[in-house]
Amino acid sequence: MKYYIIAGEASGDLHGSNLMKSLLFEDPDAEIRFWGGDLMESVGGTLVKHYRSLAFMGFAEVVMNLKTILGNIKFCKQDIERFKPDALIFIDYPGFNMRIAKWAKPLGYRTFYYISPQIWAWKENRIKAIKRDVDQMYVILPFEKDFYEKKHSFPVEFVGHPLIDAIHGRTKVDEASFRKEFKLNEKPVIALLPGSRKQEISKMLDVMLSVVPQFPDHQFVIAGAPGQEPEFYRQFTQSKNIYFVQNRTYDLLSISAAALVTSGTATLETALFKVPEVVCYRGNWLSYQIAKRVITLKFISLVNLIMDREVVKELIQSELTTKNLAAELRKLLDPKTRQSILEDYDLLEAKLGGEGASGKTAKLIVDNLNIRQAL
């Protein structure tokens, strides 16, 4: 059968690559065409567009690039019509994917959504479009099943979180070789995960790096985002005790004593590597004021949202200061605090449903298509 997959971000590329492997296991003759990145391309199939050309974030940036975005949507529709897939599979990226689903469903395409848009956080009215345009939704967070089924009477499949597969399935890094490769010394490592966009990275690293002089017995290592060039980070690595690694975030987390992490999927990745963390966020003042009124969640990190209580400290906006960040980092380095957090991380992983999300999703999609073909 023929599968058309659309992933528009780095995380979607990771989860899309694992889903593609599972689809090929379930359907060895599968023909796959996709929007994604290097990881998906390494599995096989045909890459249509790389997510790097799709990354427009924020209201102003979207408006400035509206012609390009609309052109991509038009091209995607034409490409789907030429390919004539048996299944359209959307991976998160709702601003784009929901527009394609709205167009595709009335034309008779089977629409599958893997990794739900976070409509439980904002834009809950998107549920109307999801009910209308999505044949089957596969959710990866335990509370999403109740959100869809109990609150909105829309049946979904909870398949577990694909990050568990991505982390458990990786080859363990040799710490001595890793330290030698990146010229790290023997001091304990504090990982810095400042986000993925240049403006965000600069803003977050300014405050993250401000605590470095207070921790001379540790070394701070910046994790470079996949979509950014290493040269961009050189401005931040001039001081003593600051290092940089590119495209090795998981290896870095596996040897880290603690981490300072910008809110997002990275907060969950850090927890699954069992690294105590402080979650950081500071945005544009106006954007934050708008978001605060639109998003009514108690927490911003996936760790705390899933556990429904504060497991990791969140320093948001005006609370994100050098003084507060240094104080919270000291707590993480205390053995008693560390042990308590690690115990909560074990409970978190159990809530996420264990391994096999990609395999479960692929089997459900293939079974669905086979049943329809048999009718």
Residue 212's closest CA among 232, 195, 187, 180?
Answer: 187
Provide the angle, in degrees to the nearest 10, between the axes of the packed helices 94-104 and 66-83.
40
Same structural domain, 229 and 300: yes
117 and 213 in a single domain? The answer is no
Q: Based on the fold, state whether residues 60 and 132 are members of the same structural domain.
A: yes
**CA–CA–CA angle 178, 184, 185 (5° rounding):** 120
**pTM of the predicted structure, to 2 decimals:** 0.83
Rounded Cα distance, 366 and 370, in Å: 6
144 plus 58 within the same structural domain = yes
The whole-angstrom separation of Cα 113 and Cα 5 is: 10
My answer on whether 9 and 107 are in the same domain is yes
Q: Is 55 helix (H, G, I), strand (E, B) or coil?
A: coil
Is 229 in the same domain as 108?
no
Give yes or no: residues 258 and 177 share one domain.
yes
Residues 370, 277 share a domain: no
Q: What residue type is 41 in one-letter code?
A: E
Record the tokens describing residue 190, joined without a space.
């504090």
In which element (H, E) is residue 368 found?
Answer: helix 357-374
Residues 144 and 172 in one domain: no
The C-alpha atoms of residue 167 and residue 251 are separated, in whole angstroms, by 10
Number of domains, the chain: 2
Domain housing 18:
2-160+356-374
Q: What is the CATH number of the domain that holds 272?
A: 3.40.50.2000
Long-range contacts of 145-151 (CB under 8 A, 24+ apart): 147/120, 148/116
- Assess whether 246 and 263 both reside in one domain: yes
321 & 367 share domain: no
Residues 252 and 276 in one domain: yes
Instruction: Say how far apart CA 118 and CA 266 lie, in whole Å.
Output: 16
pLDDT in 10s for each residue of the chain, 375 residues: 999 999 988 889 989 999 999 999 999 999 999 999 999 999 999 999 998 777 555 544 555 666 677 888 999 999 999 999 999 999 999 989 999 999 999 999 999 999 999 898 878 999 999 999 999 999 999 999 999 999 999 999 999 999 998 898 888 999 999 999 999 999 999 999 998 888 889 989 999 999 999 999 999 999 998 778 899 999 999 888 899 999 899 999 999 999 999 988 899 999 999 999 999 988 755 554 545 545 567 888 999 999 999 999 999 988 999 999 999 999 999 999 999 999 999 999 999 988 899 999 999 999 999 998 887
**208-217 as b/e: b if 16+ CB within 10 A:** bbebbeebee
**Per-residue CA distances from 232 to 9, 31, 198, 295 (Å):** 20, 38, 8, 32
Going by DSSP bridges, is the β-strand pair 136-139/157-158 parallel, antiparallel, or unpaired? parallel
Residue 157 contacts residue 137 (beta carbons within 8 Å): yes
CA pair distance 136, 80, nearest whole angstrom: 19
